[in-house]
Amino acid sequence: MREEKYLLVKTKQLFRGRRRPLSHVNLSSEIDRYAYTNALSKSSPATKLFLAISLLLISVTSPTPVVPIIVFLTSSTLILYSAKIPYRFYLKLLWYPIIIIAITCVIIALFFGYQEPLTEINLLGLRWAVFKDGITLGINIFFRVAGGLSTQFFLVLTTPMTSILLIIRKARVPTVLIETSLLVYRYIFVFIEVMETMHTAQELRLGYSGWLKKIRSTSLLLGNLFIRTLEQGERTFTAMNARGYDGNIRVLEDLPKPSKTALAGITLFAVTLAVTAYLTMNMGVV
Amino acid sequence: MLFRLENLSHQYSDGTLALDDVSLSFAAGERIALLGTNGSGKTTLLHHLNGILQPTSGKVYFEDKPLKYNSKSLLDLRKRVGFIFQDPNDQLFAPTVKQDVAFGPLNLGQPPDQVKKAVDEALTTVGMAEYAEKPPHFLSLGQKKRVALAGVLAMQPEVLIMDEPTSNLDPRATSEILHLLLRLNKESKITLLLATHDVDMVPLFANKLYILNKGKLVSEGSPAEMFSDAEMIRSVNLRAPRIAHLFEVLKKEDNLPIDKQLPLTIGDARKEILRLLSSQKTSKPEATSKRRNPAA
């Protein structure tokens, strides 16, 4: 009776789409979808990569929160207004990592440092000092990571994975790595589909209606998926051979060329930020 | 003869005899369907024509020369004989449609400009040009099948071998693929060979039919000949097209004077019905006039 009810509820949920199975997987396919459809998808991936990497480096090496905050605002503006990513989706993406960083930074602020104790807490007879430099470090790290994070979101939300890989291929990264990544990128989505189908099939036959069943179903799913990947590899290899594969995956290079003005502009912006970071170096946070 | 198979047998490593002493041959420009149930050896046979599998015994001749299985000869063969797999996910491995279609021509060592042109042409032919930059996982199954076809067409093959090109497709996608294939055969003179168990599709497409059962070649001939042999068709667990079946019933149960050769397609059926109607008019004019005026 209980199981029947469970099945009914699950089926309803599945078909109404209220509860989407494996939501974290869906999130990454959504990122991928935006990468191909956003308003900046046609602009040069090299430019976007250059911007993202230079801002990332400046953000994480900055000694005060000033520059990371500028970086965060810049990338967020680009994501929301230039690439036209819906702000709800961007917030959804930011939410989890920001929470994690915030917790980490609170811990850093409370446990690190050794100069100038700010306050002392008496905890069950133990004296616990909170230091000024610890708090500075915590705050700095929070903003550095948040700034860096936003640059990377800018990159993944505006630039398709393939374009990024094709550019780092030019930077003489070993072809084995690039080719493997290209294949992984392609087949990850095939297996997500396979996994979702198997997961739904298991769920509709009550495979997840209890703790032990959940564990059993998950292990069966993973085992099956592993075998499927091996078979898929075999079949893809055959299919590639049928089109004259000789051990090298050749790629047609026709990415949009980066504009020199854009590159110069980004360089100028990056230098300005670096100078700002240098000038605000001795600014106190606490 | 373009392809000739001579006493071809293939045994898989698990002991299954997938092909048993098959001999057949066909010429350039033909449209051939390989018909058989699941597990009848269709795919295994197709894999021999592209050098994916080597025969356990027997020989495969392409343009009267036996196939060689070194990489140079295989490359030459695969340049001219394109193969389209049943599941497009097996074939579409590249991250974008354009990159996937470019894979074959690039392997043939063509310069980038020529490759780009070939890719554009192939995608236009299959009607997928606007999807060039999309990754395959954004496409529907029908679209994936068309991209897989483009990937092979971009290599400008003389022969197209397809494993179940219309399986799992909706009626519209099926008819689009069929029309595309017929156009390729007519305009580019591409020889077509496809494996299928869709008996209703076969008469629309093929001029020649091979029937396989349990690894053996049971029969060969035109679709009209093959499907008229109802006993043979049933013995290999297939059936005649629905339309032929209808006319067979009309002939047997209702004693309608239907031609010996049963119509297989809607076009044939229409002709046959019109013929029956007109012969009825000329032979029994009194009967029809009586029926028209029941009151009189």
- Residues of A with a Cβ under 8 Å from any B Cβ are 29, 32-33, 36, 160-162, 165, 182-183, 185-187, 189-190, 193, 232, 235-236, 238-246, 249-254
Domains of chain B: 3-240 (3.40.50.300), 248-290 (no CATH)
Tell me the average pLDDT across A54-67.
Answer: 90
Q: In chain B, positions 46-75, which contact chain A (CB-CB < 8 Å)?
A: 50, 52, 71, 74-75
| C-beta separation of A197 from A21 below 8 A | no
- Residues in chain A with CB shorter than 8 Å from the CB of B133 are 36
Residue A243 is nearest to which of B96, B99, B151, comparing CB atoms?
B151
d(C-alpha A185, C-alpha A28), whole Å: 12
Question: Rounded mean pLDDT of chain B?
Answer: 88
The domain limits of chain A are 1-18+161-255, 38-159+256-286
Q: In chain B, positions 143-202, which contact chain A (CB-CB < 8 Å)?
A: 151-152, 155
Length of chain B equals 296
Inform me whether the C-beta atom of residue B3 falls under 8 Å from chain A C-beta atoms: no
H or E stretch covering B3: strand B3-11
Residue A186 is nearest to which of B71, B136, B151, comparing CB atoms?
B136
Residues 6 or more apart from A40 whose CB is under 8 A from it? A48, A78, A82, A83, A158
- Residues in chain A with CB shorter than 8 Å from the CB of B75 are 244, 246
- Residues in chain A with CB shorter than 8 Å from the CB of B107 are 243-246, 250
Q: How confident is the model at residue A10 (pLDDT cuts 50, 70, 90)?
A: low
d(C-alpha A100, C-alpha B227), whole Å: 69
Beta bridge partners of B211: B35, B219
Q: Is residue A7's pLDDT more than 70?
A: no
- How much is the pLDDT for B287? 47
Helical residues (DSSP H) of A17-86, grouped into ranges:
23-37, 45-61, 66-77
ipTM for the assembly? 0.78
- How much is the pLDDT for A1? 55
Q: What percent of chain A has pLDDT over 90?
A: 27
- How much is the pLDDT for B114? 92
Q: Is residue A71's pLDDT more than 90?
A: yes
- How much is the pLDDT for A6? 63
What residue ranges of chain B have pLDDT lower than 70?
283-296
- How much is the pLDDT for A11? 60
Question: Rounded mean pLDDT of chain A?
Answer: 84
Q: Is residue A229's pLDDT more than 80?
A: yes
CB contact under 8 A, B96 and A162: yes
State how far residue A185 is from chain B, nearest Cα, in angstroms: 7
